[in-house]
Structure 1
């Protein structure tokens, strides 16, 4: 029997209920957020702080460090044996999971690629946290814009910008893979304090400009 390669089937990303749903973000996609989206909404970010609460192996946190003064990194799973930059092992969805520094000083932004099945919970936790000063950015499948549950989220918390990638952002479970391909479409959803008139914009072709050889694991090394 031949494989069903229809766009609808290939775009699915179903994970078991207890899965970590660990799909590392190609670093160029985070640089695209910083350059094409965050600058437009918030201005320069070099003096800002950001928390990446699903940091995994640091694929998103590392490029964030290029643009932010302070990047806090945590995850529910311990990846520090692969990426020493992980500072805490903690469940972001639990109130009180923030570090004492974030609790007392606050953080400007939360930026992350949440587990898809927990995307709404991640969004509400971040948007309703009193220590987040300026906003939240989530990398999600474009299909995240659908469903009644998410409509309630967007009604309660209208985003400032939905930024759709015009290029595919290939992600592979458990590792970074430069040669991967995908039928799944992704977008950044960005909320900004005081901005409730949602705008749609497109992230132009930029993988070639933002991709770096050093972003990808050397063949045979841990990813």
Structure 2
């Protein structure tokens, strides 16, 4: 039987039932966001950033290379960061929120991030996230992003490994306070330049354990 390679099927992310939606972001993809923001005139070196779904820290580590201070809420691999971030209590403001949110909670993550960030927020999602009447009415119509940064290369979220590949297209969507004119940019091929030998050591250590 031949593989079904339709767009709808190839863009699905499959996880075991009751999983925590664990699709860690390859570090090079986060560096690509930071470099793009810097090229657009954002000085990140003096800014604070929060990653509210840090999991094993694959995004926090590269964020610390660019931002003045990078923190997370808690390792949601333990089941807590999602609740901590979305729970309606006062969070200390940061300049930026940058995250790979659980897909089913992405809308709520954006709302909470904008409420607790002084400058803006960025989420990495499947490019198909931009589609849909429901999401348009609930999110994009009244809270349009400032930037849609489309990767020209595929970003493998299925596992954090230098050999991983993916059939799914991903984008960074960026909201900036006070900006409602959405602009699209392309992130040029950069994986080979931004990927580092030690980016995946923590993942290999977990597998070995």
Which ranges of 4 or more aligned residues in structure 1 deviate by more than 6 Å?
Answer: none
Q: Is the aligned partner of 1:31 residue 2:31?
A: yes
RMSD: 2.3
Q: What do the CA deviations read for 1:26-85 (whole angstroms, capped 9, x no partner)?
A: 00000000001x224552100000000000100000000000111111246355xxxxxx
Q: Is the aligned partner of 1:96 residue 2:78?
A: no
Distance, in Å, in 1 between the alignment partners of 2:41 and 2:120 is 9
TM superposition shift of 1:163: 0.4
5+ residue gaps, structure 2, are: none
TM superposition shift of 1:110: 0.4
User: How many residues are treated as equivalent by the alignment?
Assistant: 205
Q: How does 1:42-57 map to 2 (within 5 A)?
A: 43-57=42-56
TM superposition shift of 1:219: 8.3
1:46, 1:69 within 8 Å by CA — same for their partners in 2?
yes
How has the CA–CA distance of structure 1 residues 159 and 70 changed in structure 2, closer, same or farther, with 3 Å as cutoff? Answer: same
Partner of 1:124: 111
2:21, 2:102 within 8 Å by CA — same for their partners in 1?
yes
Which of the residues 138, 142, 161 maps onto 1:156? 142
Partner of 1:12: 12
1:176, 1:217 within 8 Å by CA — same for their partners in 2?
no
Partner of 1:85: none
TM superposition shift of 1:10: 1.8
Whose helix proportion is higher, 1 or 2?
Answer: 2
5+ residue gaps, structure 1, are: 80-87
Distance, in Å, in 1 between the alignment partners of 2:71 and 2:98 is 10
How has the CA–CA distance of structure 1 residues 12 and 220 changed in structure 2, closer, same or farther, with 3 Å as cutoff? Answer: closer
1:171, 1:177 within 8 Å by CA — same for their partners in 2?
no
Q: TM-score, normalised by structure 1?
A: 0.84
Partner of 1:197: 181
Partner of 1:213: 197
Distance, in Å, in 2 between the alignment partners of 1:156 and 1:219 is 39
Which of the residues 162, 179, 182 maps onto 2:163? 179
